[in-house]
Structure 1
């Protein structure tokens, strides 16, 4: 058994580790296998398994292999009923906005567009105007470019058969320039936008990954007159922290991420 904090209740910890092991390996393990994997004596793990089967948290097949039971499913379903993924995202974005006092966003890629799913407004009277449900070409925004990071330039060209149509006079309209921006962003970990989708607005964004796949992005938008090196450094730190929290949330939940945002 792995070393754990001495303040944790040992038997309870063994029960949880048993459930986690079988959930990750349904139908693969017998009593002996579980004992070996968790390094718990058979005499200790056997009554735990018996009780979990009796209460419906595990099922024991005729092949003597264990699987997760309906009681565990019911508890998981109860969690999903009370849990709103986007509400959790909003809490994380609010933490960002409360510190930097600028608007923060969460978005996904929809075709070649950015689809805004969550926004926390800046408390400042002069701020970026955007709305949940809005769509805008991904190449024109920091949010969108973060979503394009894992795509080849050939894949990106397929998304925009008519080319990169400008949204403002500052929008990138050349695929080679976009490719160079994305390459730099991959190296730095941050994506930038300077008045490319909204005049007088600068943005910084980071991608959100699930199992190495980019599934979403978050950003902070700042009017150019409030943007300076100090503000940029603060925003990058806040985005990195939020990125970690959201990715931990997404990768911990063993449910389909796309289902949560519908």
Structure 2
């Protein structure tokens, strides 16, 4: 029977007490997330293997996403994220309340310290960069908005995790804490001690745990309890001394108060 425009839409089918998922939509999202997390353009084979998709289904999805501008292809026929995805991500950041509240303070902090300032949010066991103000120095730290890193390997992530009970942190993190450098915490007991120290100290320090040659200082932004966002300042170790470190921590704590207000 033909359904008229004025007819109410049928209720989605339910399974297990929830709304039934749409497989094609799930696959589309999986492809977009897989491409956005890759550090290079991927071939059809890499996409099908990485996502365990049938070749025909993967090709049809990729072709549709190319035609609609969500992904692009290079001269070798490999796939990468496209301009429409960039526009969607940029729109998210532009309309995010925390980013809008923090941006002016981040700009001032960047000028005052001359170093790179980051704002990030916890997403699962990872942190996602929302905004970055790059250092004026030629030797500068750059992390693009949307970049994801393990929470346990960053000052930003540890500052956020420190605001949670250990049982919650333990469930949040993966079974194996993969290292990014030789300094990354991979032992749960050691990480728990580190988070307790962060709570006592009031700020987190990334001791080259994410990137060799880079030290990062971070404070959680207590918009919610527990916090979901953090602010940080990243500095190459060759440019860091005790006075600069003290100035950074003092400025971050002052900036946190201003942003939360």
What range describes the TM-score normalised by the shorter chain of this pair? 0.5 to 0.7
SS in 2 for 1:218: strand
Alpha carbons of structure 1 residues 84 and 141: separation in structure 2 relative to 1, 3 Å: closer
* 1:173 matched residue in structure 2: 186
Deviation at 1:207, TM superposition (A): 0.6
Unaligned runs of 5+ in 2: 1-94
* RMSD of aligned residue pairs (Cα, Å): 1.9
Contact 1:143-1:205 within 8 A present in 2 as well? yes
**Structure 1 residue 145 corresponds to structure 2 residue 158:** yes
* 1:127 matched residue in structure 2: 140
**Structure 1 residue 110 corresponds to structure 2 residue 128:** no
Query: Equivalents in 2 of 1:211, 1:108: separation in Å?
Result: 12
* 1:205 matched residue in structure 2: 218
Alpha carbons of structure 1 residues 157 and 240: separation in structure 2 relative to 1, 3 Å: same
Deviation at 1:83, TM superposition (A): 9.7
Query: Equivalents in 2 of 1:161, 1:118: separation in Å?
Result: 26
TM-score with structure 2 setting the length: 0.61
Count of paired positions: 168
Query: Equivalents in 1 of 2:224, 2:126: separation in Å?
Result: 23
Alpha carbons of structure 1 residues 176 and 88: separation in structure 2 relative to 1, 3 Å: same
Contact 2:214-2:235 within 8 A present in 1 as well? yes
Deviation at 1:170, TM superposition (A): 1.2
Query: Equivalents in 1 of 2:211, 2:96: separation in Å?
Result: 34
Q: Among 182, 205, 221, which residue is 2:234 paired with?
A: 221
* 2:107 matched residue in structure 1: 94
Structure with bigger gyration radius: 1
**Structure 1 residue 189 corresponds to structure 2 residue 202:** yes
Of residues 96-105 and 203-212 in structure 1, the stretch that sits farther from structure 2 once superposed is 203-212
Unaligned runs of 5+ in 1: 1-81, 249-262
TM-score with structure 1 setting the length: 0.61
Alpha carbons of structure 1 residues 83 and 150: separation in structure 2 relative to 1, 3 Å: closer
Contact 1:191-1:204 within 8 A present in 2 as well? yes
Deviation at 1:163, TM superposition (A): 1.6
